[in-house]
Amino acid sequence: MSVQAAPIATTSTARRALGRLAWTLVPAAPFVIVTLIWIMATGILNPSKETLPPVTDVLASIKELALSGQLATNVVASLYRLLLGSILGIVTGLIGGVIVGLNRKLAESLNPVVVFFNAISGIVWLPLMITWLGIGNALAVFLIWNTVFFIVFQNAALGVQLVPEVYEQGVRALGGGRWQTMRSVILPGALPYILTGIRTGLGFGWRALIAAELVGAATGLGTMIFDAAEYHRSDIIVAGCLIIGVIAIVMDRWLLLPIERRTVRRWGLVADTEKE
């Protein structure tokens, strides 16, 4: 009774439905605009196929790559390296981060080294590691491990340090031992940071992998792009970039974000910045 229908009801219902539709469709707008500009650019400027391949060529080459099995081979090779390197990075980063997070003295003395090696993490190691490991999986896995490790390590250490001491004291007061506190306080308390670290780390790892594959591998999406450049096949380069972006988005949005949401946000531990 306190809320009354207004005379402007009819127009605003239509407008609202329209607004909702716009809200749903709006994320596609930049992609559509860029595609249109691309189509117009190829149509009007008529550049050579090397400079700017037409949209149709890129779609055709995606289809061709997919049908020939080349795409699957390269995607699998890249994802395999990412998986291996990330698992190594997450496990070592987690163990190291928790240990350092729990031990203030150790944290203080190790910090300079961590800061320095973090500054050269990833791609900077490429020349040295090509010399030591040669071209291949080991090189890519090392670079991913090196990238993921520092991000997970720093986040885990920070997360552990930020767990309020009261929680720990609460479990101690209930008679909990060191392991008990670890399992029921430290790890869940640090989880938001750990998950953020893993999610961020995988994003960085993916980018480091593509860079590593440009020169340091015989298969993989990065190699595919780089080889295409030799033959000036711009359509394959663009197709490869699109596929790389799609995989990154799918990984982040549909795999890592839901995990983060389901565990951490449910506990209300992290300010939900995802709402619109």
Tallying the residues shown for the chain, one arrives at 276
CB-CB neighbours of 248 under 10 Å = 15
Nearer to another protein, 59 or 174 (CB): 59
Q: Which is nearer to another protein, 69 or 272 (CB)?
A: 272
Q: Please choose, from the candidates 83, 193, 190, the residue with its C-alpha nearest in 3D space to the C-alpha of residue 145.
A: 83
The sign one gets for the Cα dihedral 80, 193, 114, 108 is negative
| Nearest partner of 86 among 2, 193, 201, 220, judged by Cα | 201
158 binds another protein (CB under 8 A): yes
Taking CB under 8 A as the criterion, the residue among 229, 258, 259, 267 binding another protein is 229
Site for another protein in 10-29 (CB under 8 A): 12-13, 15-16, 22-23, 26-29
At 46 the three-state DSSP class reads coil
Look up tokens 């500054």; give the residue: 119
Report residue 216 as tokens.
């340091």
151: contact with another protein by CB under 8 A: yes
Among 77, 157, 190, 217, indicate the residue that binds another protein (CB under 8 A).
157
From the list 6, 45, 166, 173, which residue makes contact with another protein (rule: CB under 8 A)? 6
- Phi, psi (degrees; rounded to nearest 5) at 155: -65, -40
Phi, psi values for residue 242, rounded to 5°: -60, -45
Taking CB under 8 A as the criterion, the residue among 70, 73, 161, 263 binding another protein is 161
- Is 101 in contact with 154 (CB distance < 8 Å)? no
Residue written as token pair 């490429």 = 126
Q: Which of 215, 261, 263, 269 binds another protein (CB under 8 A)?
A: 215
The two structure tokens encoding residue 33? 């605009």
Task: Output the smallest distance, CB 87 to another protein, in A.
Answer: 18
The most distant pair of C-alpha atoms in the chain lies apart, rounded to whole Å, by 78
H or E segment and range at residue 56: helix 55-68
Residue 142 touching another protein (CB under 8 A): no
- Per CB under 8 A, contacts with another protein among 64-123 are 104, 107-113, 115-123
Size, binding site for another protein by CB under 8 A: 96
Task: Show the site string, 236-255: x = touches another protein by CB under 8 A, - = not.
Answer: -xx-xxx-xxxxxx--x---
Give, as ranges, the residues between 167 and 196 that touch another protein (CB under 8 A).
Answer: 193, 196
Q: How many helices (H) and strands (E) does the chain have?
A: 13, 0
Of the pair 134, 177, the CB lying nearest another protein is at 134
Minimal distance in Å, beta carbon 7 to another protein? 9
Site string for another protein, 114-133 (x = CB under 8 A): -xxxxxxxxxxxxxx-xxx-
Question: Which 34-63 residues touch another protein, going by CB under 8 A?
Answer: 34, 50-51
In whole angstroms, the minimum distance from the beta carbon of 175 to another protein comes to 27
Considering the complex, state which of residue 23 and residue 267 has its C-beta at the smaller distance from another protein. 23
Alpha carbon of 131 to those of 125, 127, 139, 216: distances in Å?
A: 10, 7, 10, 11
User: Which listed range, 35-43, 63-71, 72-80, 211-219, lies at the site for another protein (CB under 8 A)?
Assistant: 211-219
